[in-house]
Chains A and B, each alone.
Chain A
């Protein structure tokens, strides 16, 4: 028998994701041993339960015949049957649950692997909620069908067996029963679609109510601060009552199904009793046989439940399997991606031309040197702190992504950024990521202890305390120490404090600084930071800028910012406007020489018309990408800028 000890799988295998049913078949076949075992134990269970009526019949007949010996014999057989039933039932349950868990584990593992494979592009291919919905809801239904199939098989065998036995035992009754069983099995099927629909509606409304309640609670501080509680309570009461009505509406259908399940087999039972009684009155069958026949027909209600169940499992699991198959079929690289790779390779050929592309082995030369983006002409020299000012925050985000290579938001035909002349799009994803760490605007703090948070692949050069100091996290550490509970409270060790999902218990500024510290610990060759201090106050920001420069000494750092406090610390400032590098130099130099730069960083721009309305956005054409206009040196560009000065 397959064992739960060996789960999770060392390799969950490659699923057949061509369609939902194929995925189900793939799962069934992948654990056929467990399915066979479950069907076998199920058959034993059913068979021993099916024998009870016959023995009860024998016992009653023994009393009628006044035979004490046969009565005791029947009792002994009953006990043996009881042991067999207990064994069959328990083992059936064990194998069935094992099958369910195996199928669920396999799908969960596949989902986790898929989520990791898709990484940054996942949310662009499929709604995040859909993946989670597969994990929380669909897996159970898929497992249910996979597992129920084995029990259905045993129920089918048992039903056929009893019908055949009755056919042999009492042919005329047997015919009636054999003809009725399929009718009984199918009788509730017409009601199931409507019942399923109502159940779905109820679930949907229930989900909506939960969402509303959760939403109201999540915004409770706002409500308590400004009012509107009654508005939201009324709204929730309405939805809650709708859920109640939908649930009762759904229950009405299930209640009808329950009534049908009582009435139809009951009719068969009455028919059998009537027919049997007539046979018994005519002396054709004994009293004991009458009891046996009655009991056997009652027994048939038992496997019939499996017939209904498999129909339900199928109708519930089909959409689930379809959704799971769709999610599991997603790939990170698609046609666009390979096109980008090709373009990138050509671009790379202009550089050192030795880009390693097959992704099979380690990269020959370490990725290092100057970071260069052909599209904007942005250059970030090796070992320096380069600050980039970009008027449009969205364009800044896209540029930051491109600097890391394999951009999740890449537009078609966009050239790859080059690091030391190697096109990053052409090196394997993992190599590119470990060379260039793009710290986006909204980095996520993963839940776990603070020590877990800093347990990231790193050079080992920067310790967590050093990074925390550089990112000015002392107040965060104080808050975390205060949050320590239980036995950890005495330790006063912030590294043992727990961070909840997305760091929700911390303020925006605190989260931002912890995330920055994490990236500093990683200590990559090139660190690209997109607005790392946007939620931090000016005092602290100034200190972080200092700390950042010290801790990144000798490494390349690119920081997208418009804060003078950070710009002031940068070795080099690049001003990107309208998708092009238009000026570069140090902060004070640019303040003097480039009026638009001055306008952007000193926030005087809001006094002028919205001249930047349509800026950013599309990646510039290839020809513009080649004109690496490293500005500050291009007077023409500056004139363009000054033309935008208000008259």
Chain B
């Protein structure tokens, strides 16, 4: 059975991936970017085509000389300058070898430059995305773009673009040479053209999609295994081993099915290419031979022409080999440049807070157009106040925190800092005043110093140590082999989640904003360490406004003001003692917690 049906499940179809939350570039954006890339690298491109032309022309010398020789012999002459012919041949060979090397090298130089541009451009654009967009979209989509899509593009940029350029020039030169040495033979090539066109049309209609699916299904195999490895404990505990093996089998089956399908596509393409070559060769020999028999074509020209026709095999093969790579690359490129379509939120640069008073005024907000998460919330936080937000999950505490940190703009109402609306300020201005630390405690790959200095690039080591001391992290940090030079993050020294959280807080100490929003910023520390840290932190942060979203009641207990958030509204507001005396929900909770 050679034919194969299209498998039903397509792992590359968008609906099976996590929802794409950032835009995918329109064809206009993609074209614009490709043009820009072409402009930037036009010199490298021209050099590549130039050296390629020399290499191809040099490769044509051999067949030409052989044809000459055949002609001489066929004429029955014996006055052959064999030494001159061989010398010419050798010279051409030397030129060809040198220039083939240059073609490969220049191709790589061009490809690598474009690739470097692509990945750097993408990252530059990504780090300029407005924080609100990031908060909504999450980083998963960006992550898959910078890993998977860049990876897919690297083959295209390294190989497909240079190789296709080379192949086109090569084929054109060969056809031109054929037309010059023996014009009728150029026509003979056309005999095979219809077969090639029909076959390729059939193939390229199906191939790009099929290869995308094949690659995605293979990635599915690896990701199933990666998850099995990662979740080893959970799988063992729940007795899910057999199901995981079954899942891996299913993924493999899907991959095999897609491979079988693409194999079928090639089972059609390969004979088409083979027969194209044979038809070209046969028609050149038969038509050319017929012409020669009638004396309309010299036998030497026929020999040379037949060799040129055979040489067409290489560029045609290259074009077919890389064409679909380019098609696949287009999809990835669209995803990469799609980030450019996100409007950069410039904000109003003239807007600056006057004072430190933070206020929310009749704020309504929702993530979806028709469902509000916060209903008419008003809150005043005088400078230097420690405000704790408590309440059940899903009540809107974190959302309120994000609004207070200026990440989102309220649907109605206003969140202001010193009288200026936070959401209308540029992100760079906001973070001079307000910082948000959440449970996401990312440790960057790099040294401990890099990880701290991002908050204050000019900081000296002393300042970094002071910041670490302020968050109780000095002890373990001193214990690291390389001190501040220790490589941390993925691949380096592993920090515990608690240490990572301390690191995040140390950055905050360095950034030194006058207002902080801490969203469960100490949740990963064990309870006693958390309390200890909060106390030492509060000494450092003395005088600053702190909004703390906390699930541990002692954080609330230590705060100046507690706001109990329930179902998107502030239901209780006051100091710990006031709320306990008020005998509300907070008081009940406090009693059962404190015993």
Contact = CB atoms under 8 A, between A and B. Distances in A.
A240 B278 contact: no
A8 B528 CA distance: 52
B266 A86 contact: no
A120 B236 contact: yes
A270 B89 contact: yes
Nearest to A505: B138
Contact of B593 (A227, A456, A564): A564
Given A221-B134, A540-B393, A135 B221 contact: yes
A122 B229 contact: yes
A244 B271 CA distance: 38
B236 A433 contact: yes
B442 interface: yes
Interface string A109-126: 101110111111111000
B554 interface: yes
Contacts of A75: 282, 285-286, 289
B235 A116 contact: yes
A536 B455 contact: no
A398 B131 CA distance: 40
Contacts of A510: 393
Interface stretch (B176-184, B249-257, B415-423): B249-257
Interface string B104-135: 11011100110110011001101111110011
A3 B4 CA distance: 12
B329 interface: no
B232 A123 contact: yes
A228 interface: yes
Interface stretch (A154-162, A176-184, A247-255, A348-356): A247-255
Interface in A85-108: 85-87, 89-90, 93-94, 97-98, 101, 105, 108
Contacts of B405: 225
A119 B511 contact: no
A542 B589 contact: yes
Contacts, number: 498
B104 A255 contact: yes
Given A220-B129, A252-B105, A281-B78, A226 B454 contact: yes
Contact of A71 (B107, B240, B293, B436): B293
B281 A56 contact: yes
A537 B230 contact: no
A451 interface: no
B231 interface: yes
B237 interface: yes
Given A60-B303, A105-B256, A89 B270 contact: yes
A63 B302 contact: yes
B119 A240 contact: yes
B346 to A, nearest CB: 14
Question: Chain A: interface secondary structure?
Answer: helix
A616 to B, nearest CB: 12
B260 interface: yes
Contacts of B231: 444, 446
Interface in B363-404: 367-368, 390-394, 397-398
A232 B127 contact: yes
Contacts of B532: 606
Contact of A223 (B267, B299, B454): B454
Interface string B449-483: 01001111100000000000000000000000000
B286 A119 contact: no
Given A93-B270, A233-B123, A564-B594, A211 B101 contact: no
B237 A437 contact: yes
A244 B113 contact: yes
A188 interface: no
Nearest to B394: A475
A270 B142 contact: no
A446 B127 contact: no
Contacts of A617: none
A45 B18 CA distance: 46
A242 to B, nearest CB: 10
A551 interface: no
18 contacts: A87-B271, A93-B266, A216-B123, A222-B504, A227-B428, A231-B457, A244-B113, A274-B89, A277-B69, A277-B85, A290-B70, A482-B367, A509-B393, A513-B393, A519-B238, A542-B593, A563-B593, A603-B527
- 6 smallest A-B Cβ distances: which pairs? A228-B454, A475-B394, A82-B278, A251-B108, A537-B551, A119-B236
Given A5-B260, A75-B286, 4 more contacts: A232-B127, A255-B100, A456-B239, A513-B393
